[in-house]
Amino acid sequence: MSSLDFSTKIGSKRFSNPIFTASGCASSGQELAQFFDLSEIGAVVTKSIMSKPRLGRPTPRMAETPSGMLNSIGLQGPGIDVFLEKDIPWLVANNAKVIVSIAGETVDEYGVLARRLRAVSGISAVEVNISCPNVENRGQVFSCHPDTATAVIETVRRNIGGELPIIAKLSPDVTDIVHIAESV
């Protein structure tokens, strides 16, 4: 029996340990529940959710490499309505700490998603996937520029309300990630 305390905090929220799923790797956690009790990990980070259902990219969209895999799923998902109706209640019923990942094509879409999540119980934090293309700005990725990264995070912060921590999911595909991280 260990007396070590592995708990960690993000903002005002405490998690039993720092082991979180990676967004997208296990959708909303149901696939993992057959292997372990979801309440035993720090949190389930959901697949990034968008306003409307999305089919994602056509296959093939994954490739194995000598050092891992590459994917280009295209943010396939059910949209926020189905997610709130089915996935959140299931996660809460299974005692999972939930970090909801959101993604958008416009700054306004992030704001709409944040407003939809503001009154939902059972959410411990929001991950803002800003490694998405900005359709309003010729498809440039939000997280590749400090101004657009900041605009998205500020919009989410204004619309989420309350004490939910906001986690910016940055793209590693930039020349100076530190500058972008500091801007958000």
Question: pLDDT at residue 135 above 80?
Answer: no
pLDDT at position 1 is 52
* Higher per-residue confidence, 105 vs 111: 111
Q: Which of 100, 113, 132, 168 is catalytic?
A: 132
Nearest to 50 by CA among 27, 23, 83: 83
Stretch 90-107: mean pLDDT, rounded?
A: 95
Neighbour-count burial of 49, counting CB atoms closer than 10 A to its CB (0-12 exposed, 13-18 middle, 19+ buried): buried
Cβ atoms of 11 and 20 closer than 8 Å: no
Q: Which amino acid is at 148?
A: T
Range in 48-52, 68-72, 127-131, 149-153 with the lowest mean pLDDT: 68-72
- pLDDT per residue over 51-93, tens digit each? 999 887 788 888 999 999 887 777 778 899 999 999 999 999 9
pLDDT at position 139 is 63
Return the bridge partners of 10, or none.
13
Active site residue 132: yes
What proportion of the chain, given as a percentage, has pLDDT over 70? 95
The Cα 161–Cα 91 span in angstroms is: 22
Class of domain 8-183: alpha beta
Question: pLDDT at residue 134 above 60?
Answer: no
Residues 6+ apart with CB under 8 A from 98: 43, 44, 46, 88, 91, 92, 122, 123, 124
Cβ atoms of 118 and 64 closer than 8 Å: no
Q: How confident is the model at residue 26 (pLDDT cuts 50, 70, 90)?
A: confident
- pLDDT per residue over 166-177, tens digit each? 999 998 888 899
Phi/psi class of residue 23: alpha, beta or left (left: φ > 0; alpha: ψ in -120 to 50)? beta
Beta-sheet pairing, 140-141 with 62-65: unpaired
Stretch 97-121: mean pLDDT, rounded?
A: 95
Domains in the chain: boundaries: 8-183
pTM, to two decimals: 0.90
The Cα 165–Cα 173 span in angstroms is: 24
Q: How confident is the model at residue 162 (pLDDT cuts 50, 70, 90)?
A: confident
